[in-house]
Amino acid sequence: MIRRLVTLILISSFMAVCYADALGDLHSALLAKKRDIYASELTIDEKDSAAFWKVYDEYEQKQLEHSIDAINLMRKFNDKYATGKIDLQSMVNMQAEFFRIEGRKLQTKQNHAEFFSNVLSKEDVFRFYQIEKKVDALIRSNIAEQTPIFAPEVSLK
């Protein structure tokens, strides 16, 4: 019972991350669209524009690094799962690493919020993070559609 519970928690968390191919394609397409959306939806003062886009690019790079960490973790899980060489402790460790990655993603958002507040109005900061949430939801939805549920009949070592 505990093994199934840990397994389901692990799988449901990984569903929020994704398979590498799905994220790679979707991430690239959405990054280009996000930039266009931000340019059209946010009121960026001309004097602050260069600073905003510089920090925005740094922000996206950091988030990409976190996504790559998550992809690598998902690949590790998939490899172990496919070969049948997965044990409960490995799953628990990967779950803990997943939570650390998600924490770093959130920390990056929080760290950049202060800067964005210096160059954007409060309304635009809200819109910025609203767009972020929508893009995250699109990615997570796409991933959930493509991710199989861990089979309860799979035995753990």
Per-residue H/E/C for the chain: CHHHHHHHHHHHHHHCCCCHHHHHHHHHHHHHHHHHHHHHHCCCCHHHHHHHHHHHHHHHHHHHHHHHHHHHHHHHHHHHHHHCCCCHHHHHHHHHHHHHHHHHHHHHHHHHHHHHHHHCCHHHHHHHHHHHHHHHHHHHHHHHHHCCCCCCCCCCC
Instruction: Establish if 155 belongs to a structural domain.
Output: no
pLDDT value for 107: 95
Instruction: Establish if 74 belongs to a structural domain.
Output: yes
pLDDT value for 82: 77
**What residue ranges of the chain have pLDDT lower than 70?**
1-28, 30, 142-157
Instruction: Establish if 8 belongs to a structural domain.
Output: yes
Instruction: Establish if 48 belongs to a structural domain.
Output: yes
Q: How many domains does the chain have?
A: 1
pLDDT value for 2: 37
pLDDT value for 1: 36
Instruction: Establish if 14 belongs to a structural domain.
Output: yes
Instruction: Establish if 154 belongs to a structural domain.
Output: no
Q: Which domain holds residue 116?
A: 2-146
Instruction: Establish if 153 belongs to a structural domain.
Output: no
pTM of the model: 0.71
Asked whether the beta carbons of 120 and 43 are under 8 A apart, the reply is: yes
Instruction: Establish if 41 belongs to a structural domain.
Output: yes
